[in-house]
């Protein structure tokens, strides 16, 4: 049927065995030792998986109507996506990508009310879920691995340090805006390490409440404030602006307005750092499964799209760094934690939610491993001379804030704050 035809056109390397609901088997690939076997438990999947694989494979795995009989989910998705990467546009696997210009126009509508609803859909999940896989500081974005063997805690601390180094924190009292401030970890870090006056804004009520509580417990309530606010509602002027993992939710239609707002909020000698997931190659729509079940309204920019929009807004792009496999390593550690706490997650939230998040994390890790996705950090300014001539200031700041043995104390302090909040 249709799904079998699709697999035949895509799977050229490795060995994939398919068993349909009526017990019929088919084998695809070159017979190599990498063997994956899947089973369909519903007859209709033979058509729906072929018509819309980008959505229906994830949904079938989530509801248990597609199971992995040999191998594992990582191996299955790696086989599909690595083969698809080699077939490129000749493959029907993502046939709907030809509609990407239309999808971008229809999906780019993102008024404040919708943006808040989209944020709540994901970030206002029960708090316990995030504690099962995130580091104690709740960094829900790409870590920075100075060593491939570093722990998640170390990578997330190094990420905050690396981002801070690009903000030119050359004096105390700098006024900083953190757009999409999450659970407050980065803002609190900047307030502690650089004596900044931080305003963090988020659209998630849970993140807002936890961030304010953390600031109070840590005695940083006067220097680090948080608000439940959209970036378009902000009016003040700032010395520095930072945004981590938020640009992916802006939508292509709104890129020009987003960077125009950044320019309005920056003081004349201000500096901005945008940290975002990006896509290599041509613009393409976000996975239909992720847009429907994980991040409604999500959009992954290409670097040229972001660069052109920033320049159209009158901003100078003063530095760009591509983090290639750092998010793959971050996801690998989140997946390990997810698997470690499988029983607890299923007991609290059910098997369906567990499989949905497993599919989401593993699909993302494979995409980063195969070069479809990356992370970019883009530094912006309004004035060409707002920053030093060389990047030495970044290295100097990181070195000055990398005290030996600091990780253990840092994790202990964060854990103590978390325990105090739960009491």
Query: Any idea where the domains of the chain sit in the sequence?
Result: 2-93, 112-422
In this predicted structure, the answer to whether residue 408 has a pLDDT above a threshold of 70 is no
Res 95: pLDDT: 47
Rounded to 10°, the helix 326-340/342-349 angle is 70
Give 139: exposed, middle or buried? Use CB within 10 Å, 0-12, 13-18, 19+: buried
In this predicted structure, the answer to whether residue 300 has a pLDDT above a threshold of 90 is yes
In this predicted structure, the answer to whether residue 34 has a pLDDT above a threshold of 90 is no
Check 142, 196, 272, 364 and give the catalytic one: 364
Res 122: pLDDT: 87
In this predicted structure, the answer to whether residue 98 has a pLDDT above a threshold of 50 is no
pLDDT above 70 covers what percent of the chain? 90
Report the pLDDT averaged over residues 98-106.
Answer: 47
Res 99: pLDDT: 45
How many Cα atoms are found within 13 Å in the side-chain-facing hemisphere of 46?
16
User: Minimal CA–CA distance to 307: which of 383, 241, 379?
Assistant: 379
Res 96: pLDDT: 47
The pTM of the full predicted model, rounded to 2 decimals, is 0.93
* Contacts of residue 328, Cβ cutoff 8 Å, sequence gap at least 6: 365, 368, 369
Res 423: pLDDT: 57
Rounded to 10°, the helix 185-194/205-217 angle is 30
Q: Which residue has the higher pLDDT, 92 or 141?
A: 141
> What mean pLDDT, rounded, does the chain reach?
91
Q: Give the whole-angstrom CA distance, residue 191 versus residue 399.
A: 18
> Are domains 2-93 and 112-422 of this chain identical in fold?
no
Q: Which residue has the higher pLDDT, 95 or 316?
A: 316
Res 406: pLDDT: 62
Res 100: pLDDT: 45
Q: Which residue has the higher pLDDT, 89 or 61?
A: 61
Residue carrying the six token digits 């290295």: 395
Per residue in 35-65, pLDDT (tens digit) is 999 999 999 999 999 999 999 999 999 999 9
Res 404: pLDDT: 47
Q: Which of 118-132, 159-173, 332-346 has the lowest mean pLDDT?
A: 118-132
Per residue in 8-17, pLDDT (tens digit) is 999 999 999 9
Res 208: pLDDT: 96
Q: Say whether 364 is catalytic.
A: yes
Enter the CATH code of domain 2-93. Answer: 3.30.1050
Q: Confidence band (pLDDT; 50, 70, 90) for 110?
A: confident
Per residue in 350-397, pLDDT (tens digit) is 999 999 999 999 999 999 999 899 999 999 999 999 999 999 999 999
Nearest-5° angle of CA 356, CA 252, CA 384? 120
In this predicted structure, the answer to whether residue 158 has a pLDDT above a threshold of 90 is yes
Is domain 112-422 classified as CATH 3.40.50.150? yes
* Contacts of residue 363, Cβ cutoff 8 Å, sequence gap at least 6: 58, 77, 287, 289, 290
User: Minimal CA–CA distance to 375: which of 281, 280, 310, 299?
Assistant: 280
Report the pLDDT averaged over residues 337-359.
Answer: 97
Res 106: pLDDT: 47
In this predicted structure, the answer to whether residue 148 has a pLDDT above a threshold of 80 is yes
Tokens of 69: 């009989």
Q: Confidence band (pLDDT; 50, 70, 90) for 414?
A: low
Report the pLDDT averaged over residues 214-218.
Answer: 95
C-beta atoms surrounding 395 within 10 Å: 11
Res 417: pLDDT: 62
Report the pLDDT averaged over residues 303-308.
Answer: 97
How many Cα atoms are found within 13 Å in the side-chain-facing hemisphere of 407?
12
pLDDT above 90 covers what percent of the chain? 82
Report the pLDDT averaged over residues 127-142.
Answer: 95
């Amino acid at each position: 049927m249709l799904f079998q035809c699709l697999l035949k056109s895509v799977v050229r390397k490795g060995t994939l065995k398919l068993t349909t609901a009526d017990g019929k088997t088919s084998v695809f690939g070159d017979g190599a030792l990498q063997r994956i076997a899947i089973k369909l438990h519903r007859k209709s999947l033979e058509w729906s998986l072929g018509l819309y694989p980008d959505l229906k494979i994830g949904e079938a795995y989530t509801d248990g109507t597609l199971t992995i009989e040999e191998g594992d989910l990582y191996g299955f998705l790696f086989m599909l996506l690595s083969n698809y990467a080699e077939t490129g546009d000749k493959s029907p696997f993502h046939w709907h990508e030809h509609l990407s210009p239309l999808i971008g126009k229809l999906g780019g509508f993102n008024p404040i009310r919708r943006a808040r609803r989209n944020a709540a859909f994901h970030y206002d999940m029960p708090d316990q879920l995030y504690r099962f896989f995130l580091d104690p500081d709740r960094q829900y974005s790409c870590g920075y691995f100075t060593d491939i063997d570093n722990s998640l805690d170390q990578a997330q601390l190094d990420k905050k340090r690396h981002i801070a180094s690009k903000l030119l924190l050359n004096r105390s009292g700098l006024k900083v805006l953190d757009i999409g401030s999450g659970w407050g970890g980065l803002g609190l870090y900047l307030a502690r390490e650089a004596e900044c006056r931080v305003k963090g804004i988020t659209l998630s009520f849970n993140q807002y409440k936890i961030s304010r509580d953390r600031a109070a417990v840590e005695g940083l309530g006067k220097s680090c404030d948080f608000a439940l606010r959209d970036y378009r509602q902000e009016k003040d002027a700032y010395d520095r602006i930072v945004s981590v993992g938020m640009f992916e939710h802006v939508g292509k239609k709104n890129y020009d307005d987003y960077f125009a707002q950044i320019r309005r909020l920056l003081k004349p000698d201000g500096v901005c750092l945008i940290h975002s997931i990006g896509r290599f190659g041509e613009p393409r729509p976000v996975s239909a499964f992720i847009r429907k079940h994980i991040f409604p309204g999500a959009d992954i920019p290409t670097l040229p799209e972001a660069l052109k929009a920033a320049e159209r807004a009158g901003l100078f792009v003063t530095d760009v760094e591509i983090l290639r496999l750092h998010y793959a390593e971050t996801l690998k550690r989140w997946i390990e934690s997810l698997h470690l706490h499988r029983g607890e997650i299923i007991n609290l939230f059910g098997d369906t939610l567990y499989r949905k998040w497993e599919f989401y994390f593993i699909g993302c890790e494979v995409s980063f491993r195969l070069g479809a996705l990356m992370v970019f950090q883009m530094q912006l300014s309004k004035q060409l001379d707002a920053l030093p001539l060389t990047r030495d200031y970044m290295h100097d700041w990181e070195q000055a804030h990398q005290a030996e043995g600091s990780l253990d104390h840092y994790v202990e302090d964060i854990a103590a704050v978390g325990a105090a909040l739960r009491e």
